[in-house]
Amino acid sequence: MPDLKVSELTADTSLVDADYVLMNDASGPTTKRSTWTSIKTFLQGLFTSAGDVLTNDTIVRGDGGSRGVQTTGITVADTTNNVSGMGTLGCGAITSTADVKANSNKYLIEGVASRGVLRSVVIQVSPGATPNTNINVTAFESAAYGAFNAPTSTDATNLAKSGTSGSWSLDAAGKSLECAFSETVVGFLGGNSIVQKINSASTVPYYIFPTVDTGKMRLDLYKHGDNISTNTDWTAAIDASDDIFFMISMITST
């Protein structure tokens, strides 16, 4: 067989395990042969998978210090390149050419342990059928009244002390007006009076203090000069011709 250059040899494009590969033995100046099976076994020992087969379309990760690899639960779709299955991501700045969206149930606000949803609602308290005995409470939930993403409630009609009407209730003293919104209230951002005509247009200002009571909104009415323990009876303060509109901004967890 005449001497040939490597480039002059016939190319083998369909390797089989029994094929031979020539190589130089580093331990001595001799040429030896090895089978393709032996070479594959050697390479597989350098780069191994923790399982027999890697899962299609998944990102792989290193497996310890043995040059091995493992399948992760992170999938890259074939056609869209969308990534799914990722857990917590710790990274620097993220640059996006489109909107960045969160799962609709996972909006987080600092200070809120779970989901935090911003809402505001405009509330009207007016005299009921028997002024100074019962009141009506109406929640205006549309943007036309200045509300934003308003919580859901049912209005109260002729609400009396120790009574419940719609989503609203009044304690025995008439001093704590409470609303059980469909959503769970976790905190308040503030509020302000829009219209205030109380005690037949008395010139003494009143203030509304919102607090959270086991997920419900509680409203206490205070007259200027009162201390925290002397809140006012809602039914006594709302006379026949009175009316009060006020806005409350809040955070809910649902």
In this prediction, residue 15 carries a pLDDT of 81
Indicate the residue type of 60. V
Residue 104 in this model has a pLDDT that exceeds 70: no
In this prediction, residue 98 carries a pLDDT of 81
pLDDT tens-place string over residues 37-89: 888 888 776 665 555 567 888 888 877 666 677 788 899 988 888 888 888 88
CA distance 142 to 150: 7
Alpha-carbon distance values, 201 to 45, 196, 219 (Å): 90, 8, 21
The helix or strand, by DSSP H or E, that contains position 27, with its residue range, turns out to be none
In this prediction, residue 217 carries a pLDDT of 96
pLDDT tens-place string over residues 221-253: 998 877 877 899 999 999 998 989 999 999 998
In this prediction, residue 246 carries a pLDDT of 93
Higher pLDDT, 73 or 124: 124
Kind of pairing, strands 216-223 and 176-179? antiparallel
- Residues 151, 181: contact at Cβ < 8 Å? yes
CA distance 153 to 167: 6
Residue 128 in this model has a pLDDT that exceeds 90: yes
Residue range 151-158: mean pLDDT, rounded:
97
Give Cβ neighbours of residue 244 (< 8 Å, ≥ 6 apart): 124, 125, 126, 193, 195, 196, 197, 198, 206, 238
Residue 149 in this model has a pLDDT that exceeds 60: yes
Residue 140 in this model has a pLDDT that exceeds 80: yes
Residue 112 in this model has a pLDDT that exceeds 80: no
CA distance 241 to 228: 27
Residue 103 in this model has a pLDDT that exceeds 70: no
In this prediction, residue 195 carries a pLDDT of 82
pLDDT tens-place string over residues 166-224: 999 999 999 999 999 999 999 999 888 888 888 776 778 888 999 999 999 999 999 88
Residue range 95-111: mean pLDDT, rounded:
70
Strand boundaries in the chain, DSSP class E = 20-25, 30-35, 58-63, 68-76, 83-84, 117-127, 134-140, 156-160, 164-165, 168-170, 176-179, 185-197, 206-213, 216-223, 243-252
In this prediction, residue 175 carries a pLDDT of 95
Residue 10 in this model has a pLDDT that exceeds 70: yes
CA distance 96 to 113: 27
In this prediction, residue 226 carries a pLDDT of 79
- Which residues on neighbouring strands pair with residue 89, listed in sequence order? none
Give the three-class secondary structure for 16: coil
Residue 98 φ then ψ, to 5°: -130, -175
- The torsion region of residue 146 among left (phi > 0), alpha (psi -120 to 50) and beta comes to left
Q: With 0-12 CB in 10 A as exposed, 13-18 as middle and 19+ as buried, what is 65?
A: exposed
CA distance 198 to 237: 6
In this prediction, residue 1 carries a pLDDT of 56
The pTM of this model reads 0.63
Residue 27 in this model has a pLDDT that exceeds 90: no
In this prediction, residue 227 carries a pLDDT of 80
Q: Where are the alpha helices (DSSP H) in the chain?
A: 36-46, 234-237
In this prediction, residue 135 carries a pLDDT of 97
